[in-house]
Structure 1
Amino acid sequence: MSRFDITAQPLTAHAFAPFGDVLDCAGDPDKIINAGLCGRYHDRARLDFSDGRAGISLFKAQPRSLPYTLDLLERHPDGSQCFVPMSEHPFLITVAPDQNGKPGHPQAFLTAPGQAVNIHRNTWHGVLTPLHAPGLFAVIDRIGDGANLEEAHLDTSFAVSLG
């Protein structure tokens, strides 16, 4: 198996737009609520499901080390998937464009504290990759009948590191 290097870039809404939404509190809030004590950053992600309903699950993933070996990508054809960390630690996100039903060349992003991501429906992405314990996330995704998972084991692995 061949191996290539990928350098994770900082997560920005512009760079991540082809794959999903970045959820953060950038800019001014859309509304001030709760007697002026809370800023609401409204409608930051588009949840998209073919059927079923939105559900909130908790994931507790083991932290990974860098360089991280990326050799498996997955996608969910029936719904988007939103990962909200329940700590201030950064986590690694790997994604790839679709090329004729298979993952194209992957990209890697590193979140900043306070960022979450919503990965668009049918977008190739790596498994949940926290870099620090506890690795606890709230995940908002499709709950419904049928298999909503397609996995692709990569012929070439990628070593993901920070720049």
Structure 2
Amino acid sequence: MTREIAIQPLSAEAFAPFGDVLDAAGEPDRMINAGLCGRHHDRARLDFGEGGRAGISVFNAQARTLPYTFDLLERHPEGSQAFVPMTANPFLVIVAPDEGGVPGRPRAFRTGPHQGINLHCGVWHGVLTPLAAPGIFAVVDRIGETPNLEEFFLDRAYIVVP
């Protein structure tokens, strides 16, 4: 038997316990490049842990549709992980609070056009879930010798509904 969670729009306030929203909302912090480029400065707290370094990878994830059923959450205990879409297509972001080393009740967010996210170190989250093809993302995360991945299979699946 599945459990239902409703998807909500992604906002910086609602997502704050899990990470940072990457977007160009509001006025730029400053103008650069001879006044031709607005800089929205320092939008994410990146963490690459001890012995790690920053890396940029490109992911190409298969698009999914709503309603979307999932039973797997993961986290990266040694560093943050940012997802920057390389298209204007929305994607689904599933996150959950940590409750004693296991995920609590998940929340689901739908990104708006040109929004990305940065998941803080150790935050439980679902797999990369684009809602339209192509699902191409630049991913900024920790590169190091350790796997930096914990997976948790839920005893009952959740279904994300619009």
TM bucket normalised to smaller: over 0.9
Deviation for aligned residue 1:49: 2.0
- Aligned runs of 1:109-148 on 2, under 5 Å? 109-148=109-148
- Residue 64 of structure 1 corresponds to 64
Gaps of 5+ in 1: none
Give the TM-score normalised by structure 1. Answer: 0.97
State the number of aligned residues: 161
Deviation for aligned residue 1:37: 0.8
- Residue 41 of structure 1 corresponds to 40
Separation in structure 1 between the aligned mates of residue 75 and residue 24 of structure 2, nearest angstrom: 27
Separation in structure 2 between the aligned mates of residue 96 and residue 57 of structure 1, nearest angstrom: 24
Separation in structure 2 between the aligned mates of residue 87 and residue 57 of structure 1, nearest angstrom: 16
Q: Which moved more, 1:134-143 or 1:2-11?
A: 2-11
Cα deviation code 1:84-108 (max 9, x no counterpart) = 0000000000000001100000000
Deviation for aligned residue 1:119: 0.3
- Residue 108 of structure 2 corresponds to 108
Q: Structure 1 stretches (4+) deviating beyond 6 angstroms?
A: none
Separation in structure 2 between the aligned mates of residue 4 and residue 105 of structure 1, nearest angstrom: 10
- Residue 3 of structure 2 corresponds to 4
Separation in structure 1 between the aligned mates of residue 49 and residue 115 of structure 2, nearest angstrom: 26
Give the TM-score normalised by structure 2. Answer: 0.98
- Residue 74 of structure 1 corresponds to 74
- Residue 16 of structure 2 corresponds to 17
Alignment of 1:160 with 2:136, yes or no, is no
Deviation for aligned residue 1:34: 1.0
Separation in structure 1 between the aligned mates of residue 140 and residue 147 of structure 2, nearest angstrom: 17
Deviation for aligned residue 1:109: 0.2
Cα deviation code 1:124-145 (max 9, x no counterpart) = 0000000111100000000001
SS in 1 for 2:154: strand
- Residue 27 of structure 1 corresponds to 26
Report the AA paired with residue 30 of structure 2: K
Deviation for aligned residue 1:147: 1.7
- Residue 88 of structure 1 corresponds to 88
Deviation for aligned residue 1:50: 1.4
Cα deviation code 1:8-59 (max 9, x no counterpart) = 1000000000000001111110110111111000000010121210000000
Report the AA paired with residue 112 of structure 1: G
